[in-house]
Structure 1
């Protein structure tokens, strides 16, 4: 049976089934011992009692530990391993064997594993299956927490119960999944979370702070070296696998290149004249430096390798560095900082004494040393071309079935990696910004435009990531626009209002006046949800021409939840919006589901009103009333308010108060004109006095607020690009 601790003074028994976590746990415990020795403190520290077959660092520690797993594949070549992985996953088999009896005999208090990839190491599902088998087929309560997409999480509620054959509970074992996806997760957050999981939070925080300072110093050093050279950022192709080709374009692999002052090469398609690579770094997952060199020397590469170097003359070819990818790049450990330091020098001063004296495990490889197998390369290209369409269809079908069954992930048939479904991503109500394949939010938080491949599909609901310092978690949000002196009340007393949000100045004003109306009536500030329609063809607000990324950033700045509806103009608009409104109360209720949710809070709040930013166009207001008034109360906070005495002064005050600026997002040049003295540019800051000056010299004056469609605007808060 699992679980062992009796007296509180006994050491916490820890089993790690993930090589990176084993290494990090050893580093954390070593730091604990050092800190205790320096202070003279006597304290029983956690004890690592078991590991996986892949755990190999630090060797003096791990070699003494029992090995609990074994691989079901054998390495021969990149392509052959890829084939073995596909076959195993296609048959729903685990790639690893876990000795459950041996694990149970160790009686661990904590089991460390991962849940993001069935290929990299044994995963949570395999651990659960093995433990259930050990319990004689009885269903054990293994409620392990699955980490969020952009962080490593450990939950106080991750305790899992082991039961005897008669059903009596014997002890508690905590299963912790560690799934870092970013460089910050790997070297900072992970150590904080491990510290909490192992009962040494202060030590974890201390190591995290040390790593953070090192990361900041190396990033600054890269900036200084780049400035010193005066050159553009070098374009780096970071290779994770040779055949088929996998590039390190996401997660900490990408961030290491960027922190080192490089640009990440996204593909080997040979665009822009083909010479798009300045440096090649081969850091293969699971392979040592020597094995990587053999792979290259024997030509176990795809067609992309000879095609890449065929684009260059001998003296122009990018340098190729092969490294120990397993220990230095692909495992999320503190050694990522060592890899970053090496890459900083290799990219910006490759001939320096630092590089010459470096003990970092790398070699410079000559591409001509690769054995040529043109027939194999040609066949591989042909095979890829023939299989591309069926593979995409297979992926779509796998994803559809997984979503239909409310599954969080499915296995990619080509790589064996676990891929998150749109279903689970929608459940989280947050776009992580990592460029997920099935992101339902249109890659709204993906910063690099070249990586925004998805457009919004259907309806998606996002909650704000952060709240202002000191703000109550149950506060309605939107405090940035509240009248002065208003205090947040219990959210249970607040009405739910849906603000139709286009991202421009009219919506901005309407939301502010909406809050003022509640103050005037001495009512609690409402819980506001922004609702924006996005044209799926352009991934932008129709007519306003504001990208979904900007809308999401506005909602984040206002700390308000956002409902995105993928629909263009036309007959489908009404049905799509009404469907979103029907679903919205339940989405709002899910935000607040927690143990701390007040008991008197209605779990499914009803929509009290819909609010619009219409100024004076009666036909549009009539349409809204005909469409929505039968089901909802409608509010028009800025309707027929005077421009000069109310709206324009209020807009100026709002911009000063919030630091926001208003820019032109779309201009009807037929109405505005294009003469040199009257021309306005997209992205130019809006100034109503400039509009007024234009009208003084024109026979066709335009509305100062652009209400007739002469122009449209976009609000940008501080920090928005």
Structure 2
């Protein structure tokens, strides 16, 4: 072993509870070393002294490892009162702030960390990477942390193997503890194999519901589904537009199928609090609740949600152990598992006549005084103004436009029409002005990046703007553009949006889908509000203004404007007439190829990039909407919000009017599809 004196100690801060737990596991394999302070310290196999010097306010396990260390974060919400109230507080904070959390940057700098561990998957669960990076700057200047040699490491576990192996190996590499990581991984694998040997066949898979949050109702997925399946069960609930969980309407939720086991494991809440939430919930006021087999057979369990199921750490194996025995109704070996079995037979439903129906709140109308404060702040180019009612600092539309991104937090003055807000219930803002939605920093390569320059280069520099409806013709035009544009060419998508509906006119594609497609492609998109009653002159002026906005943002000239039209001469002629005065070359790369060849190319491209295509069923004179609704119900995919198409379906189906309907392209990572 190398001498400790030959290397400087590594000082570590973790602001992610699961990572803190993994780091504690790594430290358990180091050589203990006495320190004048209570800072957890150890010497690694390589001889490096490692010290764990700081944590977040949520990092509470193991207690012996975390309790003596300073908490460097706080949250903006108040103490827990109820699921519904906490949900409202979170939404309220996100409408005015970019994060639920604040960081004590001064104390963090005093701790002189070499590594700070965080995550960039969820802004609710713990402080995210973007907030941390912004907090490490004061008045736009680098702080003591960001000016030094501190590295920020992001750990984003999404699967059971991430929790037991991949994230541990990654931390081991980043913290110079690879040997210790190997030991911890081996320990996890040994225990997992031991548990697998206890799994005996069940007569039939047990249908399981795991409730992550009570109001609104969120059901577990992700590694929870892996655990349930491994134990011999089937987790009920489907992935949707919410990452790692799905909110179900109570009216359509647990009433759709019988359930054998209900687990209430509310994120961040202990068992007594969760029992209280269950007893007071709207869920058990539903008549359908009492028809469930799990309720009738007293198979409802409340598990401590602060320690089990929600943190991707080796303690997931404790949850797996409990699941294996609970599904088989055999005694659980560990008496310490934090679970309460609820005697659901003593709960009585409130008579239906007195149960108030859930009312969907209407979009709030801002107070005129607030509107005036906001108007003045924007006129003075201020980033924030103070809400005269609440005293909160609220981000202005002016500032949000400068950022060129929709953070997805349903900000009060979001100018992007809440285009990246995943929860449909929170999408309140409509597009009012033309906006430039840039590509996010540090984004992975776009789904079509591999096409760049594949054929002879036609365009060598400048900006190419592709009119993007979200459908297959737009996709094929974009393919041609990327294949024939050099590396120096900037490609931008442009979409006209009906501001009254936040959808692409005629195509029935939402602006949120357009933004999600652009994110998958890693391309900027310009959203242009155009009302249906806008004339040709107004339409042309709106597009011309949007092109000027692109040039101002990218500081380069738009050299070509691209359309996906393929075989409708009247549409092509209309575009050439309408855009004759915009001063840019028009390009129709699909023109003259033929519908059959375009389809063939499209399916080859979809196979190459793992994309799918659905029919949006937009109403048209040929009755395509009714055709799909009445005759092709089996094609409907709720997650995609459309009728799924295939090459065979398109080639063999007699669509109304010959062409059928409009389409939407689904990329592999779009809305978690």
Under TM normalisation by the shorter chain, which class is it? 0.5 to 0.7
| Mapping of residues 196-235 of structure 1, within 5 Å | 199-200=175-176, 202=178, 229=204, 234-235=208-209
Q: Is the 8 A contact 2:453 2:487 kept in 1?
A: no
Q: Distance in 1 between the 2:188 and 2:512 partners?
A: 29
Structure 1 residues 98 and 229: CA distance shift in structure 2, 3 A: same
Deviation, 1:327, is: 1.9
Q: Distance in 2 between the 1:104 and 1:47 partners?
A: 15
| Mapping of residues 338-377 of structure 1, within 5 Å | 338=317, 341=320, 345=324, 350-353=327-330, 355=332, 360-367=337-344
**Pairing partner for 2:247 from 262, 266, 278:** 266
Aligned to 2:592: 641
Can you give the 5+ residue segments of structure 1 that lack an aligned partner in the other structure?
A: 1-5, 133-138, 145-157, 162-171, 470-476, 590-603, 696-700
Aligned to 1:159: 145
TM-score (norm 1): 0.58
Q: Which moved more, 1:64-73 or 1:524-533?
A: 64-73
| Mapping of residues 451-490 of structure 1, within 5 Å | 457=431, 459=435, 461=437, 463=439, 465-467=443-445, 479-480=450-451, 483-484=454-455, 486=456
Q: Which moved more, 1:59-68 or 1:604-613?
A: 59-68
Structure 1 residues 653 and 175: CA distance shift in structure 2, 3 A: closer
| Mapping of residues 369-408 of structure 1, within 5 Å | none
Q: Distance in 1 between the 2:477 and 2:316 partners?
A: 49
Deviation, 1:322, is: 1.8
Q: Distance in 1 between the 2:105 and 2:489 partners?
A: 54
Deviation, 1:236, is: 3.4
Deviation, 1:307, is: 1.9
Can you give the 5+ residue segments of structure 2 that lack an aligned partner in the other structure?
A: 33-42, 229-234, 238-244, 636-642
Q: Distance in 2 between the 1:585 and 1:126 partners?
A: 32
Deviations 1:508-557 (A, max 9, x none): 554455567x58xxx77843323233445665533344566765676577
Q: Distance in 1 between the 2:125 and 2:114 partners?
A: 26
Aligned to 1:168: none
Q: Is the 8 A contact 1:420 1:436 kept in 2?
A: no
Aligned to 1:496: 463
**Pairing partner for 2:50 from 26, 46, 49:** 46
Aligned to 2:640: none
Q: Is the 8 A contact 1:426 1:461 kept in 2?
A: no
**Pairing partner for 2:491 from 522, 525, 528:** 528
Structure 1 residues 225 and 125: CA distance shift in structure 2, 3 A: same
Q: Distance in 2 between the 1:102 and 1:31 partners?
A: 29
Q: Is the 8 A contact 2:383 2:395 kept in 1?
A: no
Q: SS in structure 2 opposite 1:467?
A: coil
Deviation, 1:611, is: 1.8
Q: Distance in 1 between the 2:361 and 2:667 partners?
A: 43
**Pairing partner for 2:547 from 581, 589, 597:** 581
Note the aligned Cα RMSD (angstroms): 6.8
Structure 1 residues 236 and 441: CA distance shift in structure 2, 3 A: farther
Deviation, 1:364, is: 1.0
Aligned to 2:306: 326
Structure 1 residues 582 and 42: CA distance shift in structure 2, 3 A: same
Deviations 1:314-358 (A, max 9, x none): 97627432222222245x451563366257547xx6234375667
Deviation, 1:13, is: 3.0
**Pairing partner for 1:237 from 211, 219, 239:** 211
Structure 1 residues 525 and 254: CA distance shift in structure 2, 3 A: same
Q: Is the 8 A contact 2:295 2:345 kept in 1?
A: no
Q: Distance in 2 between the 1:207 and 1:556 partners?
A: 39
Aligned to 1:592: none
Deviations 1:408-440 (A, max 9, x none): 9999x99x9x999997699475888x9999795
Deviation, 1:25, is: 2.5
Q: Is the 8 A contact 1:110 1:174 kept in 2?
A: yes
Q: Which has the larger radius of gyration?
A: 1
Report whether the alignment pairs 1:607 with 2:574.
no
Q: Distance in 1 between the 2:182 and 2:153 partners?
A: 22
Aligned to 1:473: none
Structure 1 residues 507 and 388: CA distance shift in structure 2, 3 A: closer
| Mapping of residues 421-440 of structure 1, within 5 Å | 427=403, 429=405, 440=416
Q: Is the 8 A contact 1:114 1:178 kept in 2?
A: yes
Aligned to 1:570: 533
Q: SS in structure 2 opposite 1:609?
A: strand
Q: Distance in 1 between the 2:186 and 2:272 partners?
A: 32
Q: SS in structure 2 opposite 1:159?
A: helix
Aligned residues: 599
Aligned to 1:317: 295
Q: SS in structure 1 opposite 2:317?
A: helix
Q: Distance in 1 between the 2:657 and 2:84 partners?
A: 68
Deviation, 1:623, is: 4.0
